[in-house]
A and B are shown apart, each in its own frame.
Chain A
């Protein structure tokens, strides 16, 4: 196919340009082209003996006969044939090379065999032969010392003495000392080698910048990167392989500018989410998540094995995403899994790594005596001011005992019976709960074996992956495991019909304690450490029972003793695809996918008893009582059908046309059950059938949605300079009423490849590529809600909810059906309009390349409560499509890659920088302008707060200011003094509105700005090194709502961490925190003093790998062996307050209560044979 294409093109070019045959440049160009073509042609083995019987026939005829019989391709120029003599031959069943020798005898031409092609070439002139020649031997490899086959080796200034490297990368050529060898191969930077006196060479070729040749996956097809007109970014497997990653999302953090990955936390099995370009929406039922497609079907990227991923493409602007219509309003992520590589021999690859994880950021715990000091200081404040005092203060004996134990734990008790209540202990220990819960290292390992073959017409790749991660919270003993078998078979049944089948399955198992989510006492939601854990509580009572009584909850006990929560996910995917090529330039692809997603989650709650002195039973920990088991089952199925036809051709050499039209249909069915029974017959046997529950609860949600779409794309390129693309899609969804069901999404994009213009020819060698792009598109958003609920799947149908009333009828809770809510009669699609301007550039032989994009996105008609209605309505006002916002942003990505030291060292540096901000432009639901709600004209993420002036130096100074609006207690020396911006003698939030903000000011913004990523790759002599740094250069975090930030924010139980000891006293006025006190809410207002600069720079990844030399591994009968060491989250530079992880607060999660991210150290190995 390709041979034909290139051959035709070359011949036509020659005919048209009347170049004299001796034009060496043209000749060289031609040969290169031909050889390129040959290399890309597919070869199959055929018989090599031929029989010829010719009388005075043209040479051409003889060669064609040999070509036909041998099965070899033939490459030559018609012009050369004019000078040849006719041949007469009588040969029977001789090797075809012998036949060729006979043909070329005494001809001005000669031939070589390259691979499976007979390459005809002019016979060298006799005078050149006179020069003394020597045999030059050489081996050509790439940077990784892998042999390169089919590299063209020619002599500069000669078209004659050329050759190609064989499968071991070796070549042999005749040359004289003054000659210069030119080595070239597609995808590699050509090299010139001066021969001199050396006869043996070892030559390394390095990969050329791939941007020119790269083919990028786009919606329903592929596109050459040079021809792209939209904002599309892509990463290949090379950026994901060669290092251990937890999930695909984890691997993608920071790889693509403006692809934001929210990892959620470091807990094993935690779901992550994506966002593109800070696209955002405030619409109800809507979320700005991009559409994630794996091999063309919507799928959870966290459930696929990262080892199977071949490439990830992000379609950022509306023009690129328009082909996916109503689901793609906030961009598309296309994940392609690896296909068998055509022409490769059977290969087994093993990849594995072992990692140990540690929390990336740990706050320090307060010692018992520090805590005692702080607590007593707070109590003193309460007593002195008539403010809140402790309900359970430390007694004098407590203090003595706490100090005694602190100084000499070996000889002093950590608890003693309460004189006032002899059945309970008073605790006087000194426990570092952080060390208790996160004592050390958690292991993680992954293994992946794949078997693939690209031989013959049926090719396949199969794999089996295993991943296991244990949680950092040691006491929880959480284990997450994932098994990922997959198989892909591709068969070229005939020249016009290809069929393939791809199947994969994910089995994930997450085993964690129920105590991580049962609420009070236990860390909630897998979180990290509760905020009411006092250091004076020991882990165990002196009598050996777990500690914890009444107000003291012991998370270790609850986690260890209260049962397990075991989740199993089975996710099956099967896709069958047929590709038909009924004629040249035209093909039709049709595929059908079935997915079954099955989940079972069994959570057992075992009552935990609290014991007092000498094992006196005190109470059952309320949140674990009674025993219970809850089984959640999901049985979801999904089918998708796609069919699309593509026509691609170039007319008159200058008019490239590609047209695609297709159809897509999807159907999702959710069926979920929850069964819950209390009072188990055997509390620690989570068998749902064995219970004494008079009325176990059963709930069920069954919903479905359907989607159909018809789409097209037209590409036109004139002379590689002017590019135009038009996309469109007509969508229908089950989520809207019939009259609003269908919507059209148009888009257009254009490009101008300036560097291809004639007037740029002079600098083309420097400025290799320069392309301007512009695009505009409008996408509707069908409301993303993927949670199975009636309101998400049928937003236009008001259903009557149902539930149980807390009232007994005939001995049981009464069931009830509720009135429906109100639905706007004008409910319709949200719309996202994006205008994008971009420039792509390549300089200095494409060593410097990159692109810059600027975009403006309007999210329109977001579904919000349009305007408030009087409460007399009795329900919330139906949301209408009545809010707009605008996002402006830009992203830059550049790469410099080059080679040093005779190509032995290659390196590249990629820098990505991105920024975006959103502004509300229409919002009718806040006429008063409340600062806590959206306000037109205001940026999203604005933080309003007080301006901190310092601490009140004296009680008298505090008494002068009226602070009653912030805290109705007596303000004293050491309380925070806010600036009286309104100059009315009182600190108030005014009406908390834009027009009357009182003393509030705009003090920050929570939108992370200027996200910078730097990737460094270096390879030398088998070693490879990779460093990846991710940075947010501007961001704010307001920690005051985090009740463990300061001391006793809400009450005496809020436990502060170590930094809190830096508090105000009359002798330490230069403190960070105010004077301690219980529930002194006035000090914990959002304010400038506590506002954190959460900008950070983090060394996300550092990998050092070594590929063993072939010479060694050949003796082990292996193809490739690479070992590596890798570390992630190794170093963080930030000014944020101690204990917060800036990468997590950036996602607006209170860090103390979030499971920490991992700092990990890994060893890995990759073996192929």
Chain B
């Protein structure tokens, strides 16, 4: 009897088990978030938007402006060196729309929170700030680009296979995105710690509009005024706020250098937005990178420094020539000495510069960048530095204001006094005075009015190594500046100076007939090609979407 019960029991188990068991098999993720349950409240909106902040353009200094006429780093720039080949696939290139997708996903889903416009629009504002930034970067790199403004789930939709939208049309959308952000982001006092505020949006707007306005001007594509005016307006709105000022402690010989080696930018008046750091929480390796990556400014850049009388070297009686670096810095704009390592600069407490560090992995040209470089061992420790960097610096806003007004023809002495002359005051340079401006005989822009020319020089000097130069050349239609042989030359190394070095260190240094250090001995100069204004679109992308066309020259 017992036997039969057990038998039946087991048989029954088998029979029951054989049925489909959806209850047993319906298992859902236990430690991951499913989209159905997300965007339930403001905390969710914030959590999602937080990821955007990784895409902010932080101004670090190592290997920035490498792709320009400002620097000739230890390895020749692939792009300007003419060695850039068209990438086969989009992976690892700038032809990347993943962040665009991130922003569009938010825009397609945020309404689920049902928090109402006043709260939701703050985060829509953040999203559009970043989408504007992203498309601005895409346009800078590729010109016309597909404009995707929807979240794509169905991979057969036409949006995915859209042609490239004309530059101007994309930038109009960018302007409308950034305008929304300006309108809906809170004032700094109301913004949560670390989150975007309206002045940061204005700073981005000023940057975008100056770039687009001058681009339209110099590429002669029309409709530039609205952008130039928007740039000036945005800059002025920031200036009028009274929240920001040029950092100074009254020490023109050190203030500029010190500005870039700050451990706390949060309350720095020049920081419209800063990348904050915190010991053991968020640290960087930038100081070490700067010391290891072998950067060097070009001779062409160094020539831009005015003499202390406000005149270019070609005109100033104070200029002492460049037979050595020590001689070259005499009577020059104090920003020279505060940007480039010269005798007496002390690395790591024990390592004081006597001779420029050519022939080492530290610098290529002898003009060793020190902007953002400290002598502090704590910053040198790998990924242990808490040096903070700017994201939007007020000085740039002032330069935008000056340039936009100069382009509009509305730049007065008053404009200069409230912008460029503030920067000059910090470093003890004489004011720029419209009435007494003299054209530099060695000007890189001989055809331009002297005012615009000098505003561009000021921008180059003030914002060196901050990553603007290539995009400036682009919008000014000034690519041929790359052809200047001095773009790949370094300091003058006369035999007498060479003799001061240990032989083994400088034995492989090659100089040209005028004794200038050749950064790349095998070539005389870089050769500009107009195709370099834009990057090529990866080959596979052209196949995948037949409506895409390649950029000119590639």
Contact = CB atoms under 8 A, between A and B. Distances in A.
Kindly name the residue among B4, B54, B99 whose own CB sees the greatest number of chain A CB atoms within 10 A: B54
B53 interface: yes
B96 A871 contact: yes
Interface stretch (B111-119, B155-163, B201-209, B315-323): B155-163
B510 to A, nearest CB: 8
A582 B7 contact: yes
- Chain B contact patch, size range: 35 or more
Given A423-B350, A741-B25, A809 B31 contact: no
Nearest to A791: B32
B54 A799 contact: no
Contacts of A710: 17-18
Nearest to B54: A805
Given A395-B504, A806-B54, A799 B193 contact: no
Interface in B100-150: 100-102, 104-106, 146, 148
Contacts of A815: 47, 50
A588 B194 contact: no
A421 B282 contact: no
B278 A807 contact: no
A685 interface: no
Interface in B152-187: 152-153, 155, 159-162
B508 A869 contact: no
Contact of B47 (A626, A662, A730, A816): A816
A817 B13 contact: no
A45 interface: no
Interface in B18-68: 18, 20-22, 24-35, 38, 44, 47-48, 50-51, 53-54, 56
Contact of A620 (B31, B100, B152, B381): B381
Contact of B381 (A625, A794, A814, A930): A625
A94 interface: no
B108 to A, nearest CB: 10
Kindly name the residue among A391, A623, A970 whose own CB sees the greatest number of chain B CB atoms within 10 A: A391
B54 A419 contact: no
A820 B4 CA distance: 55
Contact of A703 (B25, B31, B281, B350): B31
Contacts of A797: 28-29, 34
A626 B384 contact: yes
A1162 to B, nearest CB: 45
A494 B101 CA distance: 69
A737 to B, nearest CB: 10
Interface in A843-871: 868-871
Interface string B494-530: 0000000010110110000000000001100000000
A223 interface: no
Contacts of A872: 97, 146, 148, 159-160, 162, 545
A266 interface: no
Nearest to B96: A871
Contacts of A393: 504
B179 to A, nearest CB: 24
Contacts of B282: 806-808, 813
A930 B160 contact: no
Interface residues of A, number: 101
Interface stretch (A694-702, A745-753, A1094-1102): A694-702
A810 B193 contact: yes
B113 to A, nearest CB: 13
A931 to B, nearest CB: 12
Interface stretch (A157-165, A180-188, A874-882): A874-882
Contacts of A801: 32
Interface in A790-838: 790, 793-794, 797-802, 805-820, 822
B6 interface: yes
B95 interface: yes
Given A383-B508, A733-B25, A626 B51 contact: no
B437 interface: no
A816 B6 contact: no
B382 interface: yes
A16 interface: no
Given A662-B14, A806-B282, A813-B282, A870 B161 contact: yes
B25 A734 contact: yes
B102 A874 contact: yes
Contact of B50 (A623, A706, A814): A814
A395 B33 contact: no
B220 interface: no
A269 to B, nearest CB: 28
Interface stretch (B326-334, B410-418, B471-479, B536-544): B536-544
A420 B193 contact: no
A790 B32 contact: yes
A874 B101 contact: yes
B504 A396 contact: yes
Nearest to A970: B522
Contacts of A811: 193, 278, 281
Nearest to A803: B51
Interface in B269-293: 275-278, 280-282
Contacts of B505: 420
B13 A805 contact: no
Contacts of A89: none
Contacts, number: 251
B101 A878 contact: no
A799 B27 contact: no
Contact of B195 (A622, A678, A809, A875): A809
Nearest to B388: A808
Contact of B194 (A620, A790, A800, A810): A810
A692 B281 CA distance: 11
A800 B38 contact: yes
B382 A800 contact: no
Contacts of B24: 665, 667, 706, 708, 734
B29 A703 contact: yes
A705 B20 CA distance: 16
Contacts of A421: 351
B29 A873 contact: no
Nearest to A669: B30
Nearest to B106: A819
B192 interface: yes
Nearest to B547: A870
Contact of A874 (B54, B56, B100): B100
A595 interface: no
Contact of B541 (A420, A707, A871): A871
B436 interface: no
Contact of A679 (B14, B98, B195, B280): B280
Contact of A809 (B21, B22, B161, B193): B193
Given A626-B384, A679-B280, A790-B29, A643 B51 contact: no
A72 to B, nearest CB: 28
B545 A870 contact: yes
Contacts of A874: 96-102, 104, 148, 152
Contacts of A643: 10, 13-14, 17
A800 B502 CA distance: 59
11 contacts: A395-B504, A703-B29, A708-B17, A794-B28, A794-B29, A797-B28, A800-B32, A814-B53, A869-B155, A869-B544, A928-B88
Given A701-B31, A734-B25, A808-B282, 19 more contacts: A619-B377, A663-B18, A742-B20, A790-B32, A794-B28, A797-B28, A797-B34, A799-B34, A800-B32, A807-B50, A808-B278, A809-B53, A814-B53, A816-B47, A816-B50, A819-B105, A871-B90, A871-B541, A968-B83
Interface of A: 382-383, 386, 389, 391-393, 395-396, 419-421, 423, 496-497, 578, 580, 582, 588, 590, 619-620, 622-623, 625-626, 641, 643-645, 661-663, 665, 667, 678-679, 692-695, 700-708, 710, 730, 732-734, 738, 741-742, 790, 793-794, 797-802, 805-820, 822, 868-875, 877-878, 927-928, 930, 968, 970, 991-992
The 5 closest A-B pairs by CB, nearest first: A622-B382, A874-B101, A809-B194, A391-B361, A663-B17
